[in-house]
């Protein structure tokens, strides 16, 4: 089974290839994100590990939730109801930022949990 970073890389590749506007090269994506072109390639192969901030930039660029990069994140209905109640009076832009922030925190936690624990070696 691929590790989390390989799954993330596959998702980045798929997002680039399946854009409604047409496929986007790694170089063009790198230019849009203002990063080195080989960084996108290395993310896609799992050689480099994107940070939560990198994933946030990618999610914003492709207009998808950051949780798109994490196949196993589940929804907790009680928390969804609480969030709905708390954000009821917000305008669309503020509501979108609250959602993005929550997704960012969730993604950061998933990446932290994917790191090998100190003193333990990760095996393939």
For residue 62, tell me if it sits in a domain: yes
pLDDT exceeds cutoff 50 at 25? yes
For residue 52, tell me if it sits in a domain: yes
For residue 72, tell me if it sits in a domain: yes
For residue 120, tell me if it sits in a domain: no
pLDDT exceeds cutoff 80 at 116? no
- pLDDT at position 87, please? 80
For residue 122, tell me if it sits in a domain: no
pLDDT exceeds cutoff 70 at 122? no
For residue 119, tell me if it sits in a domain: no
For residue 73, tell me if it sits in a domain: yes
CATH number of 84's domain? 1.10.260.40
Of 1-5, 24-28, 75-79, 86-90, the range with the lowest mean pLDDT is 75-79
- pLDDT at position 100, please? 87
- pLDDT at position 40, please? 96
Q: Residue 70: which domain range?
A: 4-114
For residue 39, tell me if it sits in a domain: yes
* DSSP code string of the chain: ---HHHHHHHHHHHHHHT-TT----HHHHHHHHTS-HHHHHHHHHTSS---HHHHHHHHHHHT--GGGG-TTPPP-HHHHHHHHHHTTT--HHHHHHHHHHHHHHHHHHHHHHHSPPTT-----
Q: For 45-85, write each residue's pLDDT tens digit.
A: 989 999 989 999 999 999 988 888 887 765 666 776 777 77
- pLDDT at position 72, please? 73
How many structural domains does the chain have? 1
Q: What is the mean pLDDT of the chain?
A: 85
pLDDT exceeds cutoff 50 at 124? no
């Amino acid at each position: 089974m691929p590790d989390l970073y390989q799954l993330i890389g596959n998702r980045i590749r798929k997002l680039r290839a399946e854009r409604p506007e047409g496929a986007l090269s790694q170089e063009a994506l790198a230019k849009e994100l203002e990063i080195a072109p080989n960084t996108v390639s290395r993310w896609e192969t799992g050689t480099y590990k994107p940070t939560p901030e990198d994933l946030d930039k990618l999610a914003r660029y492709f207009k998808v939730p950051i949780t798109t990069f994490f196949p196993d994140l589940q929804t907790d209905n009680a928390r969804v109801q609480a969030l709905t109640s708390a954000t009821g009076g917000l305008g669309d832009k503020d509501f979108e930022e609250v959602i993005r922030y929550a997704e960012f925190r969730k993604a950061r936690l998933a990446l932290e949990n994917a790191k090998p624990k100190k003193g333990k070696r990760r095996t393939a």
